[in-house]
Amino acid sequence: MAKLTLDRILQSQGFGARKWCRQLVTDGEVTIHGLPATNWRDEYETDGLHFAVFGETHCYRPQVYIALNKPANYECSRKPSHHPGILTLLPETLRLRDVQPVGRLDHDTTGLLLLSDDGAFIHAQSSPKHHVPKIYQAATHAPVTPQLVATLLAGVQLHDEPAPLAAVSCRQLDEFRLEIVLAEGKYHQVKRMLAAAGNHCTALVRSAIGRLELGALNLAPGAWCYLDEAQRALLVPAEN
């Protein structure tokens, strides 16, 4: 088990520079397992460590894995240009940990978004080589037809792609809505595929990544939660 001094623990958890973290302890603002912490030099085992800062309880997390129900009109960028950044929906401690979105959703696309400070996790989820399926529900301008579904399954040619892009699966939900599953994460992919197939996307929601479903997380728009190990296991494709 790892042992760290208290100032390093606080810094690693996003409470600021080490000098500030030391001051928090000196000022009596930190408790460990409910008991006042008096010396920032004291070492603690980090596994299962619970501590409180300003009376708010935290669990030590070596890395964080977050699911967020992205609302409309937020940008998945650390330097947003036209809308608020998605990171503004997170507490400052997570922003100071350099948590980043895993991939991007357009500003007007809503639904399941992952964030983490684990570079290997971000790469595994973002890389097209891993073929993590992403499920979207798209509202369309014109009615959904069997021909539209068949075209998306067969593949459509986008002007900047060397080969046609096809949906992993696609099904009609109602007259103006369909569910489409993709294994890539191309720029505006769902919208561009629908346009290439002769329709137009009027609203888009990402409802699942892998086998992790947004509905099962029970998150209101703008709300977030930590993902545990079992939930993270749902983010890989099911074995055949």
Same fold, 3-59 and 133-209: no
Domain ranges of the chain: 3-59, 65-128+212-233, 133-209
The CATH fold assigned to 3-59 is 3.10.290
Report, in angstroms and rounded to the nearest whole number, the Rg of the chain calculated over CA atoms: 22
- pLDDT tens-digit map of 103-114: 889 899 999 999
Q: Reduced to 3 states, what is the DSSP secondary structure of residue 99?
A: coil
Marked catalytic residue, from 27, 42, 47, 106: 106
The architecture (CATH level 2) of 133-209 comes to 2-Layer Sandwich (3.30)
Q: Is 100 exposed, middle or buried (0-12, 13-18, 19+ CB in 10 A)?
A: middle
**Residue 109 host element (H or E):** none
- pLDDT tens-digit map of 38-63: 899 999 999 999 999 999 999 999 99
User: CA 174 from chain center: how many Å?
Assistant: 28
C-alpha 59/C-alpha 51 separation (Å) is 7
* Count, residues in the chain: 240
C-alpha 134/C-alpha 208 separation (Å) is 6
- pLDDT tens-digit map of 139-178: 999 999 999 999 999 999 998 888 899 999 999 999 999 9
Q: Output the pTM of the full model.
A: 0.90
Planar angle of CA 165, 169, 174, nearest 5 degrees: 115
Q: Which CATH number fits domain 65-128+212-233: 3.40.640.10, 3.30.70.580, 3.40.50.300, 3.40.50.1220?
A: 3.30.70.580
Active site residue 160: no
For 178, residues 6+ apart whose C-beta sits below 8 A from its C-beta are: 137, 138, 140, 144, 148, 149, 170, 171, 172
